[in-house]
Amino acid sequence: MFLDMKRMFLIMVTCAMMTVVCAQVTMRDVWQSMPDHLVPYLHQNLRVEQLELQDMKAEAEVKNLLNGTSIMDTLTADYTFVRLSEYSTLALKLLTRPDSTQIICFVKTVMAPEAESEVNFYDVNWQPLDIPSGLPLHKSADALLSQMTARPVGMEEERFEELRKMIDPVMCQVELSPTAPTLVMRLSIPALTQQERDDISPIIKPITFKWDGKTFKEY
């Protein structure tokens, strides 16, 4: 009797584990099922074509509906990076919650001409999720400058403040990691002379954030 109960318990546990595994989706599923309205000029047929090209180990480049090219640079089980056009990119990452459910982190970046990213979250059925990202994307310009710049050793405070004022407008770029549940956020340097860009670069402080199951936290 005891052995029968134990066997039954093991079967139930195994079935539960199989259900969780079966419920997991891959980035391939996510890319194919993405609603067309999120990237209107790269509809499902074109996205499927990119997947087929990936399968053939060929360059996953397709002609989009804007008569430009869209290239899938990277595709893994939980990540993809796509060059939508000459001026925009899209990175998607599957993140796991404490209950083992998955969500999609959607990072679209537009270069106009400097990079600026927007971050959104969806469930695996592409329903929008209103969850805190943990990222300081909606802070004021002054708050962002304070958090994402740092005065290098040896630089005078006056010079540091002078360089910070040159960062206008204040825009942020977000880069998802292809291998870990992390991302890097950094300020974009405005369109200035090359010398001015070189001068500003040392004060830019990239920040890494790690997904903790509920939100991204700085570390």
Positions of the chain with pLDDT under 50? 2-3, 6, 9-22
Q: How far is CA 167 from CA 53, 89, 92, 137, in A?
A: 41, 23, 28, 16
Give the pLDDT of residue 134: 94
For tokens 């206008």, the residue is: 168
Give the pLDDT of residue 219: 86
Give the pLDDT of residue 16: 42
Neighbours of 108 (CB within 10 A): 19
Give the pLDDT of residue 44: 97
Helical H segments across the chain, by residue range: 2-23, 27-33, 44-55, 141-148, 157-165, 194-200
Sheet with 60-63: list strands edge to edge.
60-63, 69-75, 79-85, 88-96, 102-111, 115-123, 128-129
pLDDT per position as a tens digit, 146-199: 999 999 999 999 999 999 999 999 999 999 999 999 999 999 998 899 999 999
